[in-house]
């Protein structure tokens, strides 16, 4: 009988530099070859060395405190630049933390690539209990646009190139690469590794819509009595600003921007119908939807809409057509080519717009804007401050600094800031978008600052900031020109929640009205402010912007500032007592 071989397997041999390299080097070179400039992530087994090698290629590695925020940064870079933002994570729960951001990028159509270290798939498949065992490939597959697995180093250049192409082509989205430890650790001769590398060409090939669809759209638009253009974040992402400007201004078509399309055309422009959303929905007879979806944010294109309305929809994804309502004129293809074709076909045509349509919208805008201004003015001296008091101080500063990118999240903080602050430049507003999720703010602020080099102001609710507050340290470590403004009303929606049972615990919506978030900023060396009046807020925000340094402004609001979202307030009893600052 043969004696069992009990000799342990030999340890993996370290590469002999410079003649040999690892799969980690191949990954770094592959990212460089496709033009990646920034990688966001959080290191650990098995990707730490890969991060150093990525830095060695001249790629900026922005290290975070939580993978979800690193993913939000990558997604934001994708939205602002049309190039995939890259997230790198460790395996298992690090992968899962990042996957939330990649799924969110996919839903919102931001190009993004998540690369996660992964256990040997042969061991995972056999359920051997290996280190951080998780079938990450199949976990990611249902929630992203495409998935690739690298089982050996030779797979890496192709996976990176194909992931880039998948992320930006057609409707953009998140792509996942399962970067297994065998692939990362594989030792190769440098000469053989270099032969694997290549630069992909035509990673995005625009496809033009068919002429029949363009003719149909132009016929319906030009015959409209009460036309409007609905701008979505897809229109902002496409960077076809001049074409949209020509369409709007040459043919005098009022426009209604969705939240992240604000500024694509000026919110305060003469053709803006931003204050007339309900009227557009009820009375427009033709609406051209550019880069938006008729989803929950638009009442699914029915109900509140004119039942006789005709929709023209420009989208790169054919499966988006006829979702929820029939589309009278779908124009499927690249946004720029579609607008070029529509403008060419419109040339020389006379619009049938009723002159009273635009006049009535402008009169309604003037009336509603006056009421809104009066509301801000009425709240300007509230003490303690409420949301409107604080936003009334923030509004003129941001509007006089239009090149600042505004990142915005919260409940009341999101809604009220979106309504109050007019944007005048495209892609200068980033918020929680389609899924309306909280916890994207600090990551998105970092991504915006890194990707563009511009100043960023993040206006956050205290609850929203709590999801990502520790990554304010990342803003400080990288000395980014980001000011974070926290509107603290002590709770989710507000700080006056009352428990339904006889517990001494706080209500589910209650946080801490006395929290001093400025102290967190101090801990990381930022310039910080604690403000209780609009005058103090004005001074703090002006100073922060002028400094171009990491800053945090803790804005103390009244606990009763804000209302519940979702129309559930009837479930709660009246407060047992007034709570004040």
Nearest to 252 by CA among 222, 218, 215, 284: 222
Among 13-17, 111-115, 154-158, 322-326, the range scoring the smallest mean pLDDT is 13-17
CATH of 211-362, one of 3.40.50.2300, 3.40.50.150, 1.10.3720.10, 3.40.50.1220: 3.40.50.1220
Helix (H) or strand (E) holding 305: none
Quickly count: other Cβ atoms within 10 Å of residue 457's Cβ. 25
Question: Does position 24 have pLDDT exceeding 60, yes or no?
Answer: yes
pLDDT category at 486 given cuts 50, 70, 90 is: very high
3 state DSSP class of 114: strand
Residue 348, pLDDT score = 92
Q: How far is CA 78 from the centre of its chain?
A: 9
Q: How far apart are CA 560 and CA 490, in angstroms?
A: 9
Dist CA 228 CA 140 (whole Å):
39
pLDDT band at 1 (very low <50, low <70, confident <90, very high): very low
Q: What is the DSSP string of 473-539?
A: HHHHHTT--EEEEEEE-SBSS-S----SSS-SSPPTTB--TT--HHHHHHHTT-EEEEE-SHHHHHH
**Among residues of the chain, what percentage have pLDDT more than 90?**
86
- 10 DSSP 8-state letter: P
Rg (C-alpha) for the chain, rounded Å, is 26
Lowest mean pLDDT among 72-81, 232-241, 467-476, 571-580: 571-580
N- to C-terminal Cα separation, the chain: 83
**SS3 state of residue 213:** helix
Q: Is the pLDDT of residue 294 over 50?
A: yes
For the chain, give every domain's residue range.
Answer: 20-196, 211-362, 379-571
pLDDT band with cut points at 50, 70 and 90 for residue 5: very low
pLDDT score recorded for residue 169: 95
The per-residue pLDDT for 576 is 41
Q: How far apart are CA 548 and CA 481, in angstroms?
A: 5
Q: What mean pLDDT is reported for the chain?
A: 93
pLDDT of residue 580: 37
Q: Which of 49-63, 155-169, 544-558, 563-577 comes out lowest in average pLDDT?
A: 563-577
Superfamily classification of domain 20-196:
Thiamin diphosphate (ThDP)-binding fold, Pyr/PP domains (3.40.50.970)
- Report residue 3's pLDDT band, with 50, 70 and 90 as the boundaries: very low
* C-alpha angle 203-88-485 in degrees, rounded to nearest 5: 100
Please check the confidence at residue 575 and state whether its pLDDT lies above 80.
no
- For 26-37, give one letter per residue: b (16+ CB within 10 A) or e: bbbbbbbbbebb
pLDDT tens digits, residue range 68-127? 999 999 999 999 999 999 999 999 999 999 999 999 999 999 999 999 999 888 888 878
- Name the pTM for this structure: 0.93
Encoding tokens for residue 147?
């998935």
Is the bond preceding residue 352 a cis peptide, omega within 30 degrees?
Answer: no
In terms of phi and psi (left: phi > 0; alpha: psi -120 to 50; beta: otherwise), the region of 54 is alpha
CA 126, CA 157: separation in Å to the nearest integer?
28
Distance of CA 389 to the CA centre of its chain: 27
CA distance 448 to 456: 7
The predicted structure's pLDDT at residue 571: 54
User: What is the arithmetic mean of pLDDT over 184-203?
Assistant: 94
Is the pLDDT confidence value at 6 over 70?
no
Q: Count of alpha carbons within 13 Å of 29, Cβ hemisphere only? A: 19
Q: Residue 528 is encoded by which pair of tokens?
A: 């910080």
Residue-level pLDDT at 469? 95
Long-range contacts of 242-251 (CB under 8 A, 24+ apart): 243/336, 243/339, 243/340, 243/343, 244/290, 244/339, 246/343, 247/339, 247/342, 247/343, 247/346, 250/346, 251/346, 251/351
* Token code pair at residue 309: 């309305």
Pick from 35-49, 75-89, 124-138, 440-454: least confident: 124-138
Domain 379-571 part of CATH 3.90.1580.10:
no
pLDDT band at 12 (very low <50, low <70, confident <90, very high): low
Determine the average pLDDT of the residues in 529-546. Answer: 98
Check: CB of residue 236 under 8 Å from CB of residue 260.
Answer: yes
The string of pLDDT tens digits covering residues 505-521 is 998 999 999 999 999 99
Q: What pLDDT was estimated at residue 567?
A: 55
Region of poorest pLDDT, from 339-343, 447-451, 471-475, 490-494? 490-494
Over residues 361-411, the pLDDT tens digits come to 999 999 999 999 998 998 888 889 999 999 999 999 999 999 999 999 999
Q: How many CB atoms lie within 10 A of CB 576?
A: 9
Say if residues 479 and 492 touch (Cβ distance below 8 Å). Answer: no
Determine the average pLDDT of the residues in 461-466.
96
Summarised one tens digit per residue, pLDDT across range 213-260 is 999 999 999 999 999 999 999 999 999 999 999 999 999 999 999 999
Q: Is residue 128 pLDDT above 90, yes or no?
A: no
Nearest to 186 by CA among 298, 316, 352, 20: 20
Mean pLDDT, range 528-545, rounded to an integer: 98
Residue 142 in tokens: 């249902």
Residues with Cβ < 8 Å from 307, sequence gap 6 or more?
A: none
């Amino acid at each position: 009988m043969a004696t069992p071989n009990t000799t342990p397997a030999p340890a993996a041999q370290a590469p002999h530099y410079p003649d040999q390299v690892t799969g980690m080097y191949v990954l770094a070179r592959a990212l460089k070859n496709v033009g990646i400039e920034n990688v966001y992530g959080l290191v650990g087994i098995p990707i730490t060395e890969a991060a150093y090698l990525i830095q060695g290629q001249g790629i900026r590695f922005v290290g975070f405190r939580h993978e979800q925020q690193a993913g939000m940064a990558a997604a934001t870079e994708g939205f602002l630049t049309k190039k995939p933002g890259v997230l790198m994570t460790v395996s298992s729960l690090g992968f899962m933390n990042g996957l939330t951001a990649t799924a969110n990028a996919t839903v919102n159509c931001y190009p993004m690539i998540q690369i996660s270290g992964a256990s040997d798939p042969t061991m995972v498949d056999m359920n051997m209990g290996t280190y951080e065992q998780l079938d990450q490939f199949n976990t990611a597959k249902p929630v992203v646009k495409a998935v690739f697995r690298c089982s050996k180093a030779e797979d890496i250049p192709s996976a990176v190139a194909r992931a880039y192409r998948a992320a930006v082509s057609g409707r953009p989205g998140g792509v996942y690469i399962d970067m297994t430890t065998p692939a990362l650790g594989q030792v190769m001769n440098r000469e053989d590794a270099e032969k694997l590398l290549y630069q992909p060409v035509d990673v995005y090939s625009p496809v033009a819509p068919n002429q029949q669809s363009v003719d149909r759209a132009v016929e319906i638009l030009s015959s409209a009595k009460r036309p409007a253009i609905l701008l979505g974040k897809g229109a902002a992402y496409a960077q076809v600003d001049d074409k949209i400007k020509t369409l709007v201004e040459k043919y005098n078509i009022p426009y209604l921007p969705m939240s992240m399309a604000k500024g694509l055309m000026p919110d305060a422009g003469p053709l803006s119908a931003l204050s007339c959303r309900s009227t557009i929905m009820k009375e427009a007879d033709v609406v051209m939807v550019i880069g938006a979806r008729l989803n929950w944010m638009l009442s699914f294109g029915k109900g509140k809409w004119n039942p006789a309305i005709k929709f023209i929809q420009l989208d790169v994804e054919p499966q988006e057509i006829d979702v929820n309502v029939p589309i009278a004129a779908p124009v499927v293809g690249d946004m720029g080519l579609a607008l070029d074709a529509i403008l060419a076909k419109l040339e020389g045509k006379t619009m049938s717009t009723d002159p009273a349509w635009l006049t009535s919208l402008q009169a309604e805008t003037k009336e509603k804007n006056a009421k809104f201004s009066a509301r801000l003015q009425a709240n300007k001296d509230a003490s303690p401050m409420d949301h409107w008091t604080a936003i009334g101080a923030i509004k003129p500063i941001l509007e006089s600094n239009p090149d600042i990118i505004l990142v915005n999240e919260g409940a009341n903080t999101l809604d009220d800031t979106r309504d109050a602050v007019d944007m005048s430049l495209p892609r200068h507003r980033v918020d929680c978008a389609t899924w309306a999720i909280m916890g994207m703010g600090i990551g998105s602020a970092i991504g915006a600052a890194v990707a563009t080099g511009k100043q960023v102001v993040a206006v956050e609710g205290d609850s929203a900031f709590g999801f990502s507050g520790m990554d304010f340290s990342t803003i400080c470590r990288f000395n980014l020109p980001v000011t974070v403004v926290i509107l603290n009303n002590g709770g989710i929606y507000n700080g006056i929640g009352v428990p339904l049972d006889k517990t001494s615990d706080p209500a589910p919506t209650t946080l801490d009205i006395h929290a001093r978030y400025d102290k967190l900023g101090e801990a990381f060396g930022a310039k910080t402010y604690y403000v209780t009046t609009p005058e103090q807020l004005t001074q703090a925000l002006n100073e922060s912007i002028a400094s171009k340094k990491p800053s945090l402004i803790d804005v103390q609001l009244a606990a009763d500032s804000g209302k519940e979202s979702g129309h559930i307030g009837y479930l709660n009893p009246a407060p047992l007592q007034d709570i004040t600052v």
